[in-house]
Amino acid sequence: MNFPSNLFNSHSKEDGNFFAGITRILGFKPKNLQIFKKAFLHRSTNRKDDQGNPMNYERLEFLGDSMLGTIISKYLYNEVPEGDEGYLTKMRSKIVSREHLNELGKDLNLIEYVESRIPKSHFGDNIHGNVFEALVGAIYLDKGYKYCEKFITERVIGPYVDIEVLEGKVISYKSLIIEWCQKKKIPFNYNVYEDTGNDSLKHFAVKLSIDNKVIAKARATSKKKAEERASKRAYFALQGRMGTP
């Protein structure tokens, strides 16, 4: 894949600093540095290639997500021969959860290399996981499957994956609450409404009622986050009745 030489308007010193930083993160030298630059290019820059196609990390993020899922699936298949399809799927979901990927991106300080017209302080947590996936996609395009697997093994599986710990890790407290209520035939309701208040960003608030009683409340910048926070608070409030996940 060839990119115009002036696409990123980088000076050689900047290229050298970026090359050194990416090499440190990867553990090996990239061949085509421009692919990796694209992995850190936010859509707010409005860059386009010679054909007028948008240039940002989102397509690489899509590719990296697929590669990450494939390599983690292979690892689990070999590591847990007794695990059935449902177990393997659940464990893979825990490893590649958005929360986990955000943690990986933060630990590698990937946001340092993001090029954007938006102040980095305005980004949400998901930018860390998104760029991590884009980086995986860039590795695959630049060096192939072998190096992609090497990176994921050394940077994800080795330091972060513990099968026994993951077996007890909760992916979604909301799912736990819903499953428990349905099993016990207890009515529940998530009452979500906008609650911006004095915040510059739009916020949503949620009241979680179980058995016609408000058990937990929460606020967040999205409905999904607010529901998950309320569910987590409700889970710990009801832990004596619900038991362990």
Greatest Cα pair distance, the chain, in angstroms, is 65
Model confidence at 136, pLDDT cuts 50, 70, 90, reads very high
pLDDT at 199: 64
Model confidence at 119, pLDDT cuts 50, 70, 90, reads confident
| Residue 112 structure tokens | 């340092």
Segment 162-185 mean pLDDT: 83
Q: 124: closest CA among 221, 57, 26, 224? A: 221
Q: Fill in the DSSP letter of residue 222.
A: S
- Which residue(s) pair with 193 in the sheet? 205
pLDDT at 196: 66
Segment 4-8 mean pLDDT: 44
Lowest mean per-residue pLDDT among 103-112, 115-124, 174-183, 235-244: 235-244
Annotated active-site residue 65? The verdict is: yes
The answer regarding whether domain 173-242 maps to CATH 3.50.50.60 reads: no
Please state the domain extents for the chain.
Answer: 12-167, 173-242
Choose the CATH number for 12-167 among 3.10.290.10, 1.10.1520.10, 3.40.50.10470, 3.10.20.30: 1.10.1520.10
Annotated active-site residue 49? The verdict is: no
More confident residue, 229 or 171: 229
8 pLDDT higher than 60: no
pLDDT tens string 143-157: 999 999 999 999 889
CA angle 150, 38, 225 (to 5 degrees): 80
Lowest mean per-residue pLDDT among 98-102, 116-120, 138-142, 201-205: 201-205
Segment 229-237 mean pLDDT: 89
- The CA distance from 8 to 19, in Å, is 14
User: Which candidate in 65, 142, 149, 228 is catalytic?
Assistant: 65
Phi, psi for residue 35 in degrees, rounded to 5 = -65, -40
- The CA distance from 136 to 65, in Å, is 8
Segment 158-180 mean pLDDT: 82
Q: Would you call 116 exposed, middle or buried from its count of C-beta atoms within 10 A (0-12, 13-18, 19+)?
A: middle
Please state the pTM of the whole predicted model: 0.68
Question: Which residues have a Cβ under 8 Å from the Cβ of 64 and sit 6 or more positions away?
Answer: 132, 133, 134, 135, 136, 137, 138, 139, 140
64 pLDDT higher than 80: yes
110 pLDDT higher than 50: yes
pLDDT at 244: 54
Question: Concatenated DSSP letters for 42-108?
Answer: -GGG-EE-TTS-EESTHHHHHHHHHHHHHHHHHHHHHH-TT--HHHHHHHHHHHT-HHHHHHHHHHT
Half-sphere exposure in the Cβ direction for 75 (13 Å, CA): 21
User: Which candidate in 61, 133, 149, 227 is catalytic?
Assistant: 133
**3-state secondary structure (DSSP) of residue 189:** strand
How much is the mean pLDDT over the chain?
87
Q: Fill in the DSSP letter of residue 212.
A: T
68 pLDDT higher than 60: yes
Helical residues (DSSP H) of the chain, grouped into ranges: 12-26, 33-38, 58-79, 85-95, 98-107, 126-143, 145-152, 158-160, 163-167, 173-184, 223-237, 239-242
- The CA distance from 208 to 191, in Å, is 6
What is the crossing angle of helices 145-152 and 58-79, to 10°? Answer: 70
pLDDT tens string 202-225: 788 999 999 999 999 999 888 888
